[in-house]
Structure 1
Amino acid sequence: MDLSGFYSLMAVTCFTLVGLWWTVIERHPRWKADPLRRRLAGGVYLSFLLPGLMSTFAQVDAGNPLIWRSSFTVAAVVGMANTVRLIGVDRGTARGPFRRSRWLVVVVYAVIAVLGLFPGIASVVGGTALQAASIALILLIVLAHGLAWEFMMESDDTTTKASD
């Protein structure tokens, strides 16, 4: 698959997942009332939205790498900041392997930011920056799926008790 096809498919997939997540949230109105659950649900939302945005920007103008590089860097910084905040909120209450390993999301976003800032670094592994970033985006989506699953499988009283 060429990179254009990959990023097109990734964008469509991510925005579809955003829409599905909206449906999940709509079916759980208690999540909106609990500040911790609302933050965690927002984290899942961004986990699908940011890779979708990056994938869309990667397709804007192949001849102008500044577009994808700046959008990947900004989105990665937003993703890192949000994830670090969620790690602090979730500290001591994380039960599943994905929530306990949420720090990996920060690492993947950091890799994306570095690729946006210094695309030549990808040549170390024999590829382009957009190829390396595509692998990082796949990892982000896998982690997002795990985080969404664990969040949805918690009982309603688990998170509320942890936030008291």
Structure 2
Amino acid sequence: MDLSSFYSLMAVTCFTLVGLWWTVVERHPEWKVDRTRRRLAGGVYLSFLLPGLMSMFAQVDTGNPLIWRTSFTAAALIGIVNTVQLLGVDDAAQRGPFRRFRGLVALIYAVIAVIGLFPAVSSVADWTPLQAAALALILLVVLAHGLAWEFMMEHDEPSNAASD
């Protein structure tokens, strides 16, 4: 599959998953009133939205790498900040394997940021920068699926965090 087709398919897939996640959240009004659950649901949302946005920007002008490099770096930085914040609020008792290793999400976002800032690093593995970033996006979406599953399967008891 050529990279243009890959990024097109990835964008469509991610935005479809965003829409499906909206449906899940709509069916759980208790998540909206519990601050911790709202933040965790928002983290899942960003786990689908950011790869979708990066995939769209990768297709804007393939002759101008500054567009994808800038957008990948910016989206990755947003992903890192959001993920690190979620590490501090996620209840350890509720964590399954994906939530226990949520830090890997931040690491993958960091790899994407490095590829955006220093695309030559991907040549170490004999890949183009967009190939390396594509592999990282696949990993992000796989982890997002696991995070979504675990979040949906936790008990309906409210967390200890204050509601607002």
TM over 0.5: yes
Residue in 2 aligned with 1:2? 2
Within 1, Cα distance between the matches of 2:40 and 2:63? 38
**TM-score, normalization by structure 2:** 0.96
Is it true that 1:114 corresponds to 2:107 in the alignment?
no
**1:155 Cα shift?**
1.1
What SS does the aligned partner of 1:156 have?
coil
Is 2:37–2:159's contact at 8 Å kept on the other side of the alignment?
Answer: no
Is 1:93–1:162's contact at 8 Å kept on the other side of the alignment?
Answer: no
- For structure 1, the residue ranges without an aligned partner over 5 or more in a row are none
Q: State the percentage of identical aligned residues.
A: 73
Within 1, Cα distance between the matches of 2:90 and 2:159? 12
In structure 2, what residue type is equivalent to 1:163? A
In structure 1, what residue type is equivalent to 2:85? R
Within 1, Cα distance between the matches of 2:18 and 2:24? 10
**1:93 Cα shift?**
3.8
Residue in 1 aligned with 2:128? 128
Within 2, Cα distance between the matches of 1:116 and 1:26? 35
**1:130 Cα shift?**
0.2
Map 1:1-164 to 2 at 5 A. Answer: 1-90=1-90, 92-157=92-157, 160-163=158-161
What SS does the aligned partner of 1:163 have?
coil
Task: Give the count of matched residue pairs.
Answer: 162
Deviation per CA, 1:105-145: give whole Å up to 9, x if none. Answer: 00000000000000011000001000000000000000000
Deviation per CA, 1:44-69: give whole Å up to 9, x if none. Answer: 00000000000000000000000000
Within 1, Cα distance between the matches of 2:59 and 2:2? 12
- For structure 2, the residue ranges without an aligned partner over 5 or more in a row are none
Within 1, Cα distance between the matches of 2:121 and 2:91? 33
**1:85 Cα shift?**
0.1
> What's the C-alpha RMSD, in Å, of the aligned pairs?
1.1
Higher relative contact order, chain-length normalized (CA < 8 Å, sep 6+)? 2
**1:12 Cα shift?**
0.1
What SS does the aligned partner of 2:45 have?
helix
Within 2, Cα distance between the matches of 1:35 and 1:127? 42
CA distance change for structure 1 residues 31 and 145 in 2, over 3 Å: closer, same or farther? same
Within 2, Cα distance between the matches of 1:116 and 1:92? 33
